[in-house]
Structure 1
Amino acid sequence: MPTLVVGPSWVGDMIMAHGLISYLKAKRPDDPIHMLAPAWSLNVARRMAEIDHVIELPFDHGELKLKERWAFARRLKVSCYHRAFVLPNSLKSALIPAMAGIPRRIGWRGEYRYKLLTDLRILRDSRFPRMIDRYMALGFPPNIALAANQLPEVPGCPKLLTDKESQARLAEYHGLNTRRLIAICPGAEFGPSKKWPLDNYSMLVSRLLEGGQQVALLGSPNDEADAEIIIQKVPVALRGDLKLLTGLTSIPEVIDIIALAQAVVTNDSGLMHVAAATERPLVALFGPTSPLHTPPLSKTAVVLDSSSGDISDISVDEVFDELSSQMQLNI
């Protein structure tokens, strides 16, 4: 019988869910796993080998629409799910599995969900500092999953699939030289305090271009203005090998481009987790957020964490030196 997973809305959080999804598939390889999530993060789920079917959540963030949710849930009922894992903590995320009559509904307590979940867990942050462990714990009985260090199995590093044909097409279309390509991802959600200063990015990009590297700036349409500022501060003579791709790629495309790069530099962002899940040499920059909660889970990732909480305290020299070391991993 199939399992329904109600997935997170954010790219990074969806990647953190891969530990649970991989565990569920390993334990019951014949049971299909269906992922229900918004279109944005569902594009990440499509690159997880363990997911058998994806279902787009047809409601915008913040929309309740009880009547429409009820009708949508009744359509899901025909799939005869025997259990649902509800990963977000919102009330709305628990409504559809309950309305669909799924007998086992597992999740953390969250917002007023006492009667919506049949297996409701109470989260103590100190026992599960990492998000990947919080998701993983839902796969075990509550009397076993008392803390991250007591889980019967440790979640593995998330993995995303890549599309070779898409990669070849993207490399040709954008003129990417994959033997010397460095991906720079200057964006981050939830405010500028998570972003390394644009001046620093400009200096880093200039040094990489001077050293003969090709640099691609990647991100969402929200990052276009920042990318333009970075470019304007790079000497004109060096811009021939600078590719401006912010806002020009879909989620599947940015996954494929990042996987082509020799190394990646990011803030604490969804694309940081993409780089880790495609096993690229990575330098991840943290300021006010903690790398203990959502670290880049990869053996090829290095974290530079500002002890003061101010990401601008991380110097260009520090990032360049770590990046140079990371680039050696591909030699």
Structure 2
Amino acid sequence: MNVLVLGGTGFIGSNLCKSLLIRGHKIRIIDRTIKNIGFDMTNIECVEADFIDIIDFKPYLKNIDVVYHLISTTVPATSNMNRYFDVNSNVCTTIRLLDDIVKSNAQKIIFLSSGGTIYGQTEITPIPEDHPTNPICSYGIQKLTIEKYLFFYFHEYGLDYQVVRLSNPYGKGQNGRKGQGVIPIFINKVLKNEEIQIWGDGLTIRDYIYIDDVIEALSTLLEYSGEHRILNLGSGKGSTLIDIINIISSVTGQKALVSFTEARSIDVRANVLDIKKTTKELKWEPKYSLSNGIKLYIDKI
């Protein structure tokens, strides 16, 4: 297939592109900065462009079968600071993209949503896809809005789509020195003997999934033709920040320095995804435990 990957040089995008190449697909990348993503890029067409500045996506959609939309211009922790930018840059630009997709020959769009922010404060754990969605940060609201627009374009124009509600991915290609991801940040701090600052008591529960498990599922979705359009993607298991610190200390043999500060209003107490539907539909299951994934990441540093 001919695949367009929006955000193809990022953490998830670069790992996905490598997998798609191995599977024999042809790839076109759009990203703000085209950089070396760690493997041979001679078979990848690269377009250096800022997602929010693209007015006409049609030239980039030529001969494309499937679009992976991995781009977000904001992160949960800061999205509330400029809600207008969050919505305008993500939702409005995605609507322009969808308008041009329906004018092209592309068959499907796969959108990376957020299982960690879509649901908000939850009533049950693990969280199934049909749980009420009440996000408590702007990031989650814009992700949910895009999900609703995807359904609208399916209903109005027959555009096939898949929503992946991803939990907290970590692993190779993630840079803790740049503040990317809790696990890489903590590992970087421990290895440098620097203090880890935790918001709250460290007992908030999250679902962490190793990047290879993420990519296996995303790659499989390329040819998925089942009836379910929204799928959770995580490990299905919850871990606290204290759990993560203890594992890192055990693997590295170094004691972590930790301080605690007041909890943030954007943080839900627990978020663990129910992945039974994804496991059944994709004939996929996560292979890496949290301890194994952290060890693999540290070994590759």
User: Which range, TM-score by smaller chain?
Assistant: 0.3 to 0.5
Report the TM-score when normalising by structure 1: 0.36
TM-score by length of 2: 0.39
Which protein has the bigger strand share? 2
The structure whose Rg is larger is 1
Q: Which has the higher contact order (CA 8 A, sep 6+)?
A: 2
